[in-house]
Amino acid sequence: MSQAFHDLTGIVNRLEKNHPVKKEEIEYLLGLSDPREMDLLFRAARRARSGYFGPKIFLYGFLYFSTYCRNDCAFCQYRKSNQALPRYRKTESEIINAAKEMAGAGVHLVDLTMGEDPGVYSPGESGFGPLVRMIQSLENEIRLPLMISPGVLPDTVLEELARERITWYACYQETHNFSLYKTLRPGQEFEKRLAAKQKAKDLGMLIEEGILTGVGESLEDLADSIVWMKEFGVDQARVMTFVPQANTPMAHTVAQDHVKECIIIAVMRLVMPEILIPASLDVDGLSGLQARLDAGANVVTSIVPPQKGLAGVAHHSLDIEDSRRTVDQLLPVLKTCGLEPALPEEYRAWTAARMDRTGPSFQQKGA
């Protein structure tokens, strides 16, 4: 056995036994490139997933209900300076109908996402009233847990949504390197974004954090993000490969393949084995799902119903209108991986236990 392989098995073994590892060791795992070593990492990540979740996978519908945004993120096609992009703002009834369709198809959660729509953010706190009322109506209609991803919400709005028992708040930093953050999210306060997550967590909501890979980050930056997520206690950790977007400052960035994203998924699984880690359909569509599940993901995100005029994030339309981002289409992929969708009550049990932090684990609930 080579020294490198010996070092790798030592780190992985310690992670599997829940022993602490150093940031440099996380960095070492993130830098793997030998196929045999990556295979060892992915196998360990699958074992870790199985230990907490068995073969069960959670399914998330994605509802991008307004593509207007006041911000100018360098990586995002929905940035306000992109005048070439057709935009939409869905009505309450369109949102409820799309969510009902997803619920009927068997998703466990609906992720309600928008840019920082000036129609909501510009009037100040009063602008959030219709948004909160829409979320309340939607929750009453579909009776599924909701994730809200509407940008950096004011504290009072987070308080209102927490009182409504909205389950999740997602507010992605994309990187925890302050300098890189400033180039990715110009004009948006790093600390304010962190503070919104902390506020939502203090209010009892579950928190999803997200990072991008392929945006000029170093292995140390990625390791810093993973350490930050573990120390913060995020409940769901997402990584997505950056897809260069036309009409943005990063349009000519060389695109990265999906391998690094899979390695990051596997490392996050080993460092935080008990949390949710998505395999997003948004980057490579259905064809990229198996690799991400094989790396240890346990949630499929960005399921989008066709014929509703709804967009994705990294790709405006990939696999949506040809119905390849539906529950029916992904079930055979789960089966190939030896996995199966969880029951809705299993997802509710997991979120409820996680929200009170003293409850039983997913497996103890009989999953």
Is 69 a residue that touches ligand SF4 (CB under 6 A)?
yes
Is 225 a residue that touches ligand SF4 (CB under 6 A)?
no
Task: Select the residue interacting with ligand SF4 from 56, 79, 90, 260 (CB under 6 A).
Answer: 79
Task: Select the residue interacting with ligand SF4 from 28, 42, 62, 78 (CB under 6 A).
Answer: 78
Is 71 a residue that touches ligand SF4 (CB under 6 A)?
yes
Stretch that binds ligand SF4, among 70-78, 135-143, 242-250, 258-266 (CB under 6 A): 70-78
Closest CA to 29 of 48, 19, 44, 47: 44
In angstroms, give the least distance from the CB of 73 to ligand SF4: 3
In angstroms, give the least distance from the CB of 82 to ligand SF4: 9
Between CA 367 and CA 354 the distance in angstroms is: 15
CB distance 156 to 178 below 8 Å: no
Is 240 a residue that touches ligand SF4 (CB under 6 A)?
no
Q: Total residues contacting ligand SF4 (rule CB under 6 A)?
A: 9
Q: Beta strands 299-303 and 109-114: pairing type?
A: unpaired
Task: Select the residue interacting with ligand SF4 from 12, 30, 76, 148 (CB under 6 A).
Answer: 76
In angstroms, give the least distance from the CB of 89 to ligand SF4: 13
Is 171 a residue that touches ligand SF4 (CB under 6 A)?
no
Between CA 92 and CA 113 the distance in angstroms is: 14
Question: Phi/psi at 66 (nearest 5 deg)?
Answer: -145, 125
Sign of the CA dihedral with 188 first, then 191, 197, and 200 last: negative
Between CA 326 and CA 364 the distance in angstroms is: 30
| Nearer to ligand SF4 among residue 52 and residue 168 (C-beta) | 168
Which one-letter amino acid corresponds to residue 121?
Y
| Nearer to ligand SF4 among residue 115 and residue 344 (C-beta) | 115
DSSP state of 64: E
CB distance 266 to 42 below 8 Å: yes
Is 149 a residue that touches ligand SF4 (CB under 6 A)?
no
| Nearer to ligand SF4 among residue 79 and residue 238 (C-beta) | 79
Q: What angle do CA 226, 108, 267 make, to 5 degrees?
A: 20
| Nearer to ligand SF4 among residue 62 and residue 78 (C-beta) | 78
In angstroms, give the least distance from the CB of 118 to ligand SF4: 11
Task: Select the residue interacting with ligand SF4 from 37, 111, 116, 294 (CB under 6 A).
Answer: 116
Q: Which residue has the tokens 């005029």?
A: 309
| Nearer to ligand SF4 among residue 65 and residue 78 (C-beta) | 78
CA distances from 241 to 4, 143, 257, 261, 333 (A): 27, 32, 8, 6, 21
CB distance 242 to 212 below 8 Å: yes
| Nearer to ligand SF4 among residue 225 and residue 298 (C-beta) | 225
Stretch that binds ligand SF4, among 67-75, 232-240, 280-288, 350-358 (CB under 6 A): 67-75
| Nearer to ligand SF4 among residue 79 and residue 260 (C-beta) | 79
Stretch that binds ligand SF4, among 69-77, 197-205, 232-240, 356-364 (CB under 6 A): 69-77
Task: Select the residue interacting with ligand SF4 from 61, 115, 210, 285 (CB under 6 A).
Answer: 115
| Nearer to ligand SF4 among residue 85 and residue 223 (C-beta) | 85
Residues 102-130: b if buried by 16+ CB within 10 A, e if exposed:
bbeebbbbbbbbbbbbeebbeeeeebbee
The site map against ligand SF4 for 333-352 (x = CB under 6 A) is: --------------------
Residues 164-182: b if buried by 16+ CB within 10 A, e if exposed:
eebbbbbbbbbbbbeebbe
Between CA 345 and CA 353 the distance in angstroms is: 12
Name the site residues for ligand SF4 (rule: CB under 6 A).
Answer: 69, 71, 73, 76, 78-79, 115-116, 151
